[in-house]
Amino acid sequence: MGFSCGIVGLPNVGKSTLFNALTATAAAEAANYPFCTIEPNVGRVAVPDARLEVCARLAKSARIIPTQLEFVDIAGLVRGAARGEGLGNQFLGHIREVDAIAHVVRCFAAADVVHVEGSVDPVRDVETVETELLLADLESLERRAAAIHKRARGGDTEARALAQLVAPVLAALEAGAPARTALAPDRRKELAALQLLTAKPVLFIANVDEASAATGNAESARLADYAARRGARMVEVSAAIEAELAQLDDAAERAEYLAALGLAETGLDRVIRAGYELLDLITFFTVGPKEAHAWTVVRGTKAPQAAGRIHSDFEKGFIRAEAIAYDDFVACGGEQGAKDAGRMRLEGADYVVRDGDILHFRFNV
């Protein structure tokens, strides 16, 4: 799979309820007490993309295989997690393994659902979790920086380059800013080598009550303002509604239920798409009579590496890619029509895959 979002937040904010609905399983126990999720639960979900069904119809594909994102349900963090409070060390370790963080924030009041801080305050809750992640990063990087500087003084050229990377990041953390703010956007990929929690992109998910699912509420508005001031994204979802929808097998029933609530689509579809965009992913397709298949790659991926998503042999023996833009594929009625119209291109190893490309790879191993 290769792309994963860790669902984090304080206990009792709706993480496991959201995860259960997201994956349409009961894999994560949703209970009204802290730490009910001891081990991370992993679920893969299809990324909604209407283009795939269009491609399948035009190619008369026997089956459809959508691209997927992986979500990891990580148990609730609490104040002091960076010092090992609760199950902090274990949970922080799980977060290090994901590509992005989906931070669920409670934006609803309910007398029967305990809040670990005693009241609902989304900004305070976000800052609590972010502080714990930042403190964990600061401790980790301070420890590593000493060893890096020692090697740099000994003439290690790799360590010298790493020391130049560490300096601004450490300064940012010491000032209380996440690592992702320390470098210009075009240099953020360099942060991956440091494996820092606050270097990961973050999506805020405001978990609202059912009555606020369509319009939001005062607490989600506060969270939206907080996210906007930090250049982050926020999605409003009612985990309770999503859990109800997950129990409905019939698409017409789901549509009727959504319409009754004034919703055009599920909150989960918005979460999945936002996660996809958060990781800066794009989709290409392989289409034929057997199947129409969507594949996920990071924006900027070149053709051989995209071929490698299908099979390592495709990348090793890459010769060229036959590429058709999605709009051309549709306008010409499919692959043969696009070829007849001269809309199929032959691309080499330097070709950067575009979102929506229909690709056929030529290779020789």
How confident is the model over 131-188, as pLDDT tens digits? Answer: 888 988 998 899 888 888 889 888 888 889 888 889 999 999 999 999 988 888 777 7
pTM: 0.81
Q: Is the pLDDT of residue 27 over 60?
A: no
pLDDT of residue 90: 55
Residues 6+ apart with CB under 8 A from 158: none
Residue 68 contacts residue 296 (beta carbons within 8 Å): yes
Residue 6 contacts residue 95 (beta carbons within 8 Å): yes
pLDDT of residue 232: 87
Would you tell me the crossing angle of helices 218-229 and 122-153 to the nearest 10 degrees?
Answer: 20
pLDDT of residue 314: 96
Tens of pLDDT, residues 218-245 = 999 999 999 998 888 899 999 889 888 8
Q: Which has the higher per-residue pLDDT, 20 or 174?
A: 174
Residue 55 contacts residue 285 (beta carbons within 8 Å): yes
Q: Is the pLDDT of residue 289 over 50?
A: yes
pLDDT > 70 in the chain, percent: 87
Beta strands in the chain (DSSP E): 4-8, 41-46, 63-65, 68-73, 100-106, 202-207, 233-237, 281-287, 291-298, 318-324, 345-347, 358-363
- In terms of average pLDDT, the best of 101-115, 276-290, 337-351 is 337-351
pLDDT of residue 85: 47
61 Cα distance to chain centroid: 29
Residues 6+ apart with CB under 8 A from 77: 8, 9, 10, 86, 88, 91, 92, 128, 129, 132
Q: Is the pLDDT of residue 200 over 60?
A: yes
Mean pLDDT, all residues of the chain: 86
Q: What is the DSSP letter of 302?
A: B
Q: Is the pLDDT of residue 355 over 70?
A: yes
Q: Which has the higher per-residue pLDDT, 238 or 193?
A: 238
